[in-house]
């Protein structure tokens, strides 16, 4: 299993959508209740990760995010 950097967001309820950039397919979309989430994927690759409150201006698209090995940890801080 591969992981991303931990995403820290300054809201309590937000969605995360992971898109495989090689196929442009949505891997999954999840609603998160908390202030951080570390998305998981099942293979090496580059992904687009969308985070925020859908249908509002509180949304960010993070492109070119590479998966990391399970032992590596990095953080992306998202502010709206």
Q: How many CA atoms lie within 13 A of 8 on its CB side?
A: 5
pLDDT of the residue at 49: 93
Q: Is the pLDDT of residue 70 over 90?
A: no
Residue 61 is inside which H or E element, if any? Answer: strand 59-66
pLDDT of the residue at 45: 92
Could you give the number of structural domains in the chain?
A: 1
Taking Cα atoms as reference points, which of 63, 60, 64 lies closest to residue 78? 60
**Secondary structure letter of residue 30 according to DSSP:** E
Q: Which two tokens stand for residue 25?
A: 């397919």
- Which residues constitute the domain of residue 24? 2-78
Higher per-residue pLDDT: 22 or 80: 22
Q: Are strands 6-9 and 75-78 parallel, antiparallel or unpaired?
A: parallel
Higher per-residue pLDDT: 8 or 49: 49
pLDDT digits (tens, 9 = 90+) for 47-68: 999 998 766 788 899 999 998 8
pLDDT band of residue 17 (cuts 50, 70, 90) is very high
């Amino acid at each position: 299993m591969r992981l991303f950097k931990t995403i820290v967001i300054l809201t309590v309820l937000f969605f995360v959508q992971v898109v495989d950039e090689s196929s442009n397919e949505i891997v999954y979309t999840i609603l998160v209740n908390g202030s951080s989430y570390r998305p998981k994927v099942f293979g090496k690759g580059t992904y687009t990760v969308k985070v925020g409150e859908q249908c509002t201006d509180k949304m960010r698209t993070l492109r070119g995010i590479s998966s990391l090995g399970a032992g590596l940890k990095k953080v992306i801080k998202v502010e709206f």
